[in-house]
């Protein structure tokens, strides 16, 4: 806005601050909860200031965990989640950039059919095809394995579509210039297309890492062995205890730790992420 | 360096659209040939077939006496300059110049030597480490040329390389391309739709229309003796006036025109306001618009009787007023006789 009236500035800031408070307050509460001792929540009054048990709680959860709830130490679950999110993000990018390359730059029979087949899988997310997918994964003996946790989530129409849209904006002359310069298809892909897609890849990596990190239903189905639990499904197990009060301070510790990696990824890749969404290097 | 032979080449696109009909053209070693024509005439298609970016439906294209129909662009040893420059945006200028040489496995010191030489010729040394996006249009154009000359190819192919530049820069770059081609003596094919660019650059000019060659020749030959009505209208600015023979008969001296002539071409600059004292026709016309453009002036005239609009180019300070009806003279020797149906010259 070009208008420069102080009252408007104050008002817009108020709205923004209100929004931030609404978003941040629950997070703050979770943090406060993770710093208190065991009994502090049973009185029904939620404390608003941090307590003294910060390091004790985090150390306990990371190294031992709530064995009574059947959950392994948090570091195992965090590691599992990290592995799964990384494999899903890189796997999706790898497969979709190659399929988009094939669809955009090569002429082969049924090219558009191939694209549309990939595209309509957008209508079939994991939750819709969960039973058949589970059956396939179980028959292949992939239950309780990293392969079973990641492979069904890798094939991705969204990323293929995004790369396709980006590749379509690359001028034909660039490919023709590369051909005249003696670059074959793979060389063109590696030397020209991949560097140009850098910011897109970064943006997608952030989105897909978080997508992989927050997977809940699928890990819940395919893992029975606690060695393969992921953090997001693990939190549910921590909170659901059969005959005792949930240990909220420890659950919140787990929540805080589960939140950390995606936040870090966003913060560290923010610059590339924004660049990838708003500009193209052409 | 090499000659280029195009023999009986046809291009038929999917859906049976014929872009090029049975075209023959030979470009001798070291010549700069300009393909010119309106958009959609097939000039770019022809260039892209020489480059290997477009398949050849029928006929053969040979470079250096080798048929290259089935060869990849890189194997044809040609270099191409594109309209939008097509520089690799993520590479520095140096990277752009080196890329083709690297792909061919040229030794490092040879690459450095050639890049330095090209940069010196094109005066782009100060920008070697910049990215294309940090350069102006003219500088990018130089880099695109540099990418072509470092390769020392058998032929340069230019696809409307100047049409993205402003008029002044276009004029400068035109001169530079001409100078560069003269000094390198590399066989070149240059595509443009701009007839001024075509006239000034070409050793030989090829006028194309609807997938066929209308006329091939030195630019001045085409200007002075257009073989078809299309060439007559396309080459020259303002374009040639075409006047019915029936209208000209009986106005001025005796017309002796070849059999079948029913249309006469009159270049605007051959129309004179004073009687030349040679066999000529006299036209009477009303001045609708007087356009001074500096060195000369253009008169937009309406012919008495037929009402046809014609344009005359007269010396700058010709004393005329708009709205006046004046006599004009055209020497009979300056008339270009055509037949309307065949579209061809009759003499």
Domain of residue B35, CATH code: 3.40.50.300
The answer to whether residue A155 neighbours chain B at the CB level (below 8 Å) is no
Burial B39-64 (b: 16+ CB within 10 A, else e): eebbbbbbbbbbbbbbebeebebbbb
pLDDT in tens, B132-170: 999 988 899 999 999 999 999 999 999 999 988 888 888
Domain of residue B246, CATH code: 2.40.50.140
Of all residues in chain B, the one with the smallest CA distance to A176 is B53
- Residue B343 inside a domain? The answer is no
Show which of B209, B233, B257 is a domain's final residue: B233
Do B219 and B245 have their domain in common? no
Q: Choose the mutation target among A172, A173, A177 for the interface with B, i.e. most B CBs under 10 Å.
A: A177
- Of A279 and B68, which is predicted with more confidence? B68
Q: Quote the tokens at residue A107.
A: 């002429």
Q: Are the beta carbons of A173 and B79 separated by less than 8 Å?
A: no
Q: Quote the tokens at residue A140.
A: 């292949």
- Residue B37 inside a domain? The answer is yes
Q: Quote the tokens at residue B130.
A: 């910049």
Shortest Cα–Cα distance, A215 to chain B (Å): 36
Q: Are the beta carbons of B74 and A177 separated by less than 8 Å?
A: no
What average pLDDT does range B309-316 have in this prediction?
Answer: 91
CB pairs A-B closer than 8 Å: 61
Q: Quick one: pLDDT band at residue B1, thresholds 50, 70, 90?
A: low
A196 closest CB neighbour out of B87, B89, B103? B89
Do B259 and B223 have their domain in common? no
Distance between CA A183 and CA A191 in Å, rounded? Answer: 9
- The set of residues, in sequence order, having a beta carbon less than 8 Å from that of B303 and lying 6+ positions away, is B243, B247, B283, B284, B285, B309, B310
Do B228 and B274 have their domain in common? no
Structural domains in chain A, sorted by start? 66-278 (1.10.3720.10)
Distance between CA B342 and CA A21 in Å, rounded? Answer: 83
- For residue B83, list chain A residues with Cβ-Cβ distance below 8 A: 173
What average pLDDT does range B4-22 have in this prediction?
Answer: 91
- For residue B104, list chain A residues with Cβ-Cβ distance below 8 A: 182
Q: pLDDT per position in chain A (282 positions), as tens?
A: 566 788 888 999 999 999 999 999 999 988 888 888 877 776 667 778 888 888 888 888 888 777 666 678 888 899 999 999 999 999 999 999 999 999 999 988 998 898 888 888 888 877 788 888 899 999 999 999 999 999 988 877 888 988 999 999 999 999 999 999 999 899 999 999 999 998 889 888 998 999 999 998 899 889 888 888 888 888 888 877 666 677 888 888 888 989 999 999 888 888 877 776 665 544
- Residue B346 inside a domain? The answer is no
SS3 label, residue A150? helix
Shortest Cα–Cα distance, B149 to chain A (Å): 12
B73 closest CB neighbour out of A174, A179, A195? A179
Q: Are the beta carbons of B80 and A182 separated by less than 8 Å?
A: no
Name the CA dihedral angle for B231, B237, B242, B248, rounded to a multiple of 10 degrees.
-130
Do B217 and B108 have their domain in common? yes
Q: Choose the mutation target among A111, A172, A182, A189 for the interface with B, i.e. most B CBs under 10 Å.
A: A182
Q: Quote the tokens at residue A169.
A: 């904006």
- Residue B119 inside a domain? The answer is yes
Q: Are the beta carbons of A171 and B84 separated by less than 8 Å?
A: yes
Q: Are the beta carbons of A174 and B88 separated by less than 8 Å?
A: yes
ipTM of the prediction greater than 0.90, yes or no: no
- The set of residues, in sequence order, having a beta carbon less than 8 Å from that of B47 and lying 6+ positions away, is B35, B157, B159, B189, B191
Give pLDDT, residue A240: 72
Q: Is the pLDDT of residue B221 over 90?
A: yes
Do B180 and B35 have their domain in common? yes
- Residue B345 inside a domain? The answer is no
- Decide: B63 and B7 in contact? Cβ < 8 Å: no
Show which of B185, B203, B233 is a domain's final residue: B233
Shortest Cα–Cα distance, A276 to chain B (Å): 15
Give pLDDT, residue A282: 43
Do B63 and B183 have their domain in common? yes
Q: Are the beta carbons of B86 and A171 separated by less than 8 Å?
A: yes
Q: Choose the mutation target among A172, A181, A197, A279 for the interface with B, i.e. most B CBs under 10 Å.
A: A181
On average, the pLDDT of chain B sits at 91
Q: Quick one: pLDDT band at residue B178, thresholds 50, 70, 90?
A: very high
Do B267 and B295 have their domain in common? yes
Contacts with B, A 179-218, CB within 8 Å: 179-183, 187, 191-192, 195-196, 198
Range of the domain at B201: 4-233
- Of A61 and B231, which is predicted with more confidence? B231
**CA A79 vs CA A86, A228, A263, B219: distances in Å:** 10, 10, 16, 75
- Residue B344 inside a domain? The answer is no
Of residues A157, A161, A156, A139, the one with CA closest to residue A148: A139
B90 closest CB neighbour out of A180, A181, A281? A281
Do B169 and B266 have their domain in common? no
Do B168 and B262 have their domain in common? no
- Residue B331 inside a domain? The answer is yes
Q: Is the pLDDT of residue B225 over 50?
A: yes
- Residue B347 inside a domain? The answer is no
Do B63 and B195 have their domain in common? yes
- The total of structural domains in chain B comes to 2
**CA A4 vs CA A8, A16, A276: distances in Å:** 8, 18, 32
Q: Choose the mutation target among A173, A174, A180, A200 for the interface with B, i.e. most B CBs under 10 Å.
A: A180
Distance between CA B200 and CA B205 in Å, rounded? Answer: 10
Do B85 and B220 have their domain in common? yes
Give pLDDT, residue B12: 92
Do B157 and B209 have their domain in common? yes
Q: Are the beta carbons of B78 and A180 separated by less than 8 Å?
A: yes
SS3 label, residue B1? coil
Show which of B233, B264, B293 is a domain's final residue: B233
Q: Which residues of B touch A (CB under 8 A)?
A: 51-53, 72-74, 78-80, 82-84, 86-90, 99-100, 103-104, 133, 147, 151
Of all residues in chain A, the one with the smallest CA distance to B105 is A182
CB atoms within 10 A of CB B127: 21
């Amino acid at each position: 806005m070009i208008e420069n009236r102080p009252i408007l500035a104050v008002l817009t800031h108020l709205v923004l601050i209100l929004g931030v408070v609404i978003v941040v307050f629950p997070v703050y509460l979770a943090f406060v909860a993770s710093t208190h001792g065991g009994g502090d929540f049973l009185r029904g009054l939620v404390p608003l200031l941090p307590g003294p048990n910060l390091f004790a709680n985090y150390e306990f959860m990371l190294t031992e965990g709530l064995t009574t709830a059947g959950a392994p130490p948090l570091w195992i679950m965090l590691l599992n989640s990290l592995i799964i999110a990384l494999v899903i993000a890189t796997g999706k990018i790898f497969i979709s950039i190659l399929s988009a390359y094939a669809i955009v730059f090569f002429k082969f029979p049924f090219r558009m059919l191939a694209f549309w087949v990939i595209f309509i899988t957008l209508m079939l997310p994991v939750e819709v095809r969960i039973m058949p997918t589970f059956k396939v994964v179980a028959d292949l003996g992939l239950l309780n394995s990293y392969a079973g946790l990641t492979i069904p989530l890798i094939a991705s129409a969204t990323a293929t579509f995004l790369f396709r849209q980006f590749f379509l904006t690359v001028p034909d002359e660039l490919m023709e210039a590369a051909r005249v310069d003696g670059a074959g298809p793979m060389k063109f892909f590696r030397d020209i297309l991949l560097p140009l897609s850098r910011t897109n890849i970064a943006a997608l990596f952030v989105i897909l890492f978080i997508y992989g990190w927050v997977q809940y239903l699928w890990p819940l189905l395919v893992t029975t062995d606690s060695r393969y639990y992921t953090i997001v499904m693990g939190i549910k197990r921590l909170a659901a205890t059969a005959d005792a009060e949930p240990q909220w301070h420890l659950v919140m510790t787990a929540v805080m730790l589960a939140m950390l990696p995606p936040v870090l990824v966003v913060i560290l890749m923010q610059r590339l992420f924004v660049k990838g969404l708003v500009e193209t290097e052409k | 360096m090499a000659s280029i032979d195009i023999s009986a080449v046809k291009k038929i696109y999917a859906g049976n659209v014929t872009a090029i009909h049975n075209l023959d053209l030979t470009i001798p070693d070291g010549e700069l040939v300009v393909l010119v024509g309106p958009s959609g005439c097939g000039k770019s298609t022809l260039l892209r077939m020489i480059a290997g970016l477009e398949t050849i439906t029928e006929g053969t294209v040979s470079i250096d006496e080798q048929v290259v129909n089935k060869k990849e662009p890189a194997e044809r040893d040609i270099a191409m300059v594109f309209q939008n420059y097509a520089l690799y945006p993520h590479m520095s200028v140096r990277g752009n110049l080196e890329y083709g040489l690297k792909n061919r496995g040229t030794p490092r010191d040879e690459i450095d030597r050639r890049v330095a030489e090209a940069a010196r010729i094109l005066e782009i040394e100060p920008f070697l480490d910049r990215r294309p996006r940090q350069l102006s249009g003219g500088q990018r154009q130089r880099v695109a040329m540099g990418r072509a000359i470092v390769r020392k190819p058998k032929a340069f192919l230019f696809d409307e390389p100047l049409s993205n530049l402003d008029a002044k820069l276009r004029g400068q770059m035109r001169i530079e391309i001409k100078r560069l081609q003269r000094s390198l003596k590399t066989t070149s094919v240059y595509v443009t739709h701009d007839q001024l660019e075509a006239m000034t650059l070409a050793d030989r000019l090829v006028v194309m229309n609807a997938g066929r060659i209308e006329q091939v020749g030195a630019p001045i030959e085409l200007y002075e003796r257009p073989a078809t009505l299309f060439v007559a209208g396309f080459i020259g600015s303002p374009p040639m006036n075409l006047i019915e023979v029936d209208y000209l008969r009986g106005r001025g001296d005796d017309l002796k025109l070849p059999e079948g002539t029913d249309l006469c071409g009159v270049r605007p600059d051959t129309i004179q306001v004073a009687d030349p004292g040679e066999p000529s026709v006299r036209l009477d016309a009303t001045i609708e618009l007087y356009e001074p453009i500096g060195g000369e002036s253009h008169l937009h005239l309406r012919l008495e009787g037929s009402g046809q609009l014609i344009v005359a180019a007269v010396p700058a300070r010709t004393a005329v007023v708009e709205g006046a009806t004046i006599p004009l003279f055209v020497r009979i020797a300056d008339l270009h006789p055509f037949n309307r149906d065949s579209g061809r010259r009759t003499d």
